[in-house]
Structure 1
Amino acid sequence: MHHHDLSAWQHDHTFEQDQVRTGERRICIVVVLTLVTMLIEIVAGLLYGSIALLADGLHMGSHATALGIAAFAYAYARRHAHDDRFSFGTGKVNALGGFAGAVLLAGFALYMGIESVARFVNPVAIVFDKAIAVAVIGLFVNGISAWILGGGEHHHEHHHAGHAGHWHTDHNRRSAYFHVLADALTSLLAIVALLAGKYLGWQWMDPAMGLVGTVLVTRWSWGLLRDSSQVLLDRQVQTLDQDIRGILESGTSDRISDLHIWSIGPGIYAGIIALVSDKPEPPHVYRSKLEVRLPELVHTTIEVEPCTDIGHVSAA
């Protein structure tokens, strides 16, 4: 056996995860903004007796935590993108970060729920004017954050198909954007609750909005737990199955006998495909068919078995 140079047949497992994503810098700015506002809202909520404000602060805090983890996940994934010990690159660091953030949040939500119920039983005097002012500041910061995360890209870079595509596959940035919108909603609810308390004397509105905040955070953390755990556990991704079968089976006698596709990072997938064929081709032929049509399938292992005539085998 000659010593062959294998470099032509090998590829790295980086899959562009060493690049700085467009979302990363924006997320870092938003994290700082959100953390500062969150602290102000939580302190104000405790000082001025408003659970709606506290809920808004915790809701922002929950998202700042998640965004912070997202920012860390970006940086970690980038730093270790060339590390061979990660079988399929570092794309899953995102999912791991999301999972950890979701667990934290479930705890926050529980605390908030208990606190809100307690306020129904023992109402606290609320310093309305100051609480309303802080809630308005919160809403303003969320508006700026949403503009930073969602803006810019859409206006200038829409002609790059890649960027438009990134917006949909960069889960970190998209979820960050939706967090900020959800935060704006709780800020709005807090303002409504405080105004109703101040002008209509409806003190119960404040803990009621605390409960609404609790429900929002709980729902969000449950969704994140579900999605991130599926990625972490290599759950099969069914979305590409039809396409792959179409590309490899149509117009040929080849049949797919085994197909596994799973997510290995935001918007990128790995696959193991076994084919049975009357006229087997080398694996690279099948791989190049897939690469042309499905660029998001970045790592495929293909094995091809010749289709033997069963009758002859049993006769032998």
Structure 2
Amino acid sequence: MAHSHHHHNHHSHDLKGRNLLISIILNVVITVAQVIGGIISGSLALLSDALHNLSDVISLVISYVANALSRKQASTNKTFGYKRAEIIAAFVNSATLIIVAVFLIIEAIERFFSPQDIGTGIVIALSVLGILANGFSVLLLKSDSDKNMNMRSAYLHLLTDMMASVAVLAGGILMYYFQWYWIDPLLTLVIALYLIYMGLQLLRTSTKVLMLFTPDTIEVQQIVAAICKLGPIENVHHVHIWQLNEDELHMEAHIDFKEDIALSEFDKILVEIEAMVFSEFGINHINIQPEFEKCDSKNLIVQD
């Protein structure tokens, strides 16, 4: 077995945890204010924004816990530790985005058939509060959102909520000047459809990781062909490639050799394989089983 490791930056984890905690506090404040304001004003769009903010609070708490768990060390009965906690958090958060969106669509359709007068002053004031608070949270999480699926799920929750607040603000201004109260459920519908679009993308990505699917960027046949060019290799078969988390891409395979080589020679070839699959394909953990004239199928590149 051969491994090539990349160590986590604990300072980065601490920073992510702090930023998440600040975002949680801000979203709790926004949610309470918008629920009260939505009830007083009668604005469904404001209440939908509050509901989305509530889902933000839940998703951020999940992300915060997952971020903390991911730092726990592996043990004999948890040999991978909690490295997949953040992937599970991303899956749960993306699913909640879709569930909240479906609820909002139902409420918006009902409001289309029974429009109500809305207290636009409260709507405008609270939407501005939502834009400022969520905008600050988005800036806090942006730097980590491109590197970590869990942080990206939290970032998307906050970004979509900031955009929803912008839409609510625009709707509040239009209702104030023109009394276009139908704009309230229309905005709610647009926000909900966007939530579904963003949620499905993240749900698809996190599901692939949890199901141990080979990443889309990896072509197994290309890796097999590249390995076969190194040393006296006859065949590469029984290949499995999967993503453990954001940082670790694993591969295991059986390699059939043309000659009964010495273990020391195999070690040299193994170093070449490690360097090649890391530099060309980003695979940083490999487990190779060497074989010579072993009686098993050599034609199955992939097999359960």
The TM-score range, normalised by the shorter chain, is: 0.7 to 0.9
- Give a deviation string over 1:99-131, Cα, whole Å, max 9, x none: 223333333223222211121112222110111
Aligned counterpart, 2:102: 110
Say if 2:152 is the partner of 1:169: no
1:49 alignment counterpart: 42
Q: State the 1:188 CA deviation.
A: 0.8
1:268 aligns with 2:248: yes
Q: CA separation in 2, counterparts of 1:284 and 1:47?
A: 72
CA–CA distance in structure 1, aligned partners of residues 57 and 5 of structure 2:
28
Decide which moves more: 16-25 or 96-105: 16-25
Question: Which residue does 1:288 correspond to in 2?
Answer: 271
Query: CA–CA distance in 2 between the matches of 1:167 and 1:97?
Result: 14
**Paired residue for 1:239?**
217
Distance 1:248 1:88 in 2: 27
Question: 1:198-247, CA deviations, whole angstroms, 9 ceiling, x for partnerless residues?
Answer: 11221100011111122122233333332222222212235344674465
Alpha-carbon shift at residue 288 of structure 1 (Å)? 2.5
Question: Residues 268 and 174 from structure 1, CA distance in 2 versus in 1: closer, same or farther, beyond 3 angstroms?
Answer: same
- Residue identity in the other structure for 1:292: A
Q: Which residue of 2 aligns with 1:196?
A: 174
**Paired AA for residue 172 in structure 1:** N
Percent of residue pairs bearing the same amino acid type? 25
CA separation in 1, counterparts of 2:149 and 2:262?
A: 37
* Alignment correspondent of 2:199: 221
Which of the residues 272, 276, 287 maps onto 1:301?
287
State yes or no: 1:250 paired with 2:229. Answer: yes
Provide the aligned C-alpha RMSD in A. 3.0
After TM superposition, the score normalised by the length of structure 1 is 0.79
Stretches of structure 2 that go unaligned for 5 or more consecutive residues are 295-304
- Matching of residue 65 in structure 1 with residue 58 in structure 2: yes
Q: Partners of 1:30 and 1:304 in 2: how far apart?
A: 50
**What is the alpha-carbon distance in structure 1 between the residues aligned to residue 196 and residue 291 of structure 2?**
49
Report if aligned partners of 1:248, 1:286 keep a CA contact under 8 Å in 2: no
Structure 1 segments, 4+ long, off by >6 Å, are: none
SS of match in other structure, 2:19 = helix
Describe the shift of the 1:178–1:287 C-alpha distance in structure 2 as closer, same or farther (beyond 3 A).
Answer: farther
Letter in 2 for 1:202: W
Unaligned regions of 5+ residues in structure 1, if any? Answer: 1-8, 154-165, 309-316
Q: Which letter maps to 1:26? A: N
Structure 2 SS opposite 1:90: coil
* 1:40 has 2:33 as partner: yes
Q: How many residues align?
A: 286
- In structure 2, the partner of 1:137 is 129
Describe the shift of the 1:92–1:169 C-alpha distance in structure 2 as closer, same or farther (beyond 3 A): same
- Contact 1:105-1:218 at 8 Å conserved across structures: yes
Tell me, in whole angstroms, the C-alpha distance in 1 between the residues paired with 2:32 and 2:273: 50
**CA apart distance, 1:37:** 1.1
SS state of the match for residue 82, structure 2? Answer: coil
Structure 1 CA distance for aligned equivalents of residues 19 and 119 of structure 2: 35
TM-score norm. by structure 2 comes to: 0.81
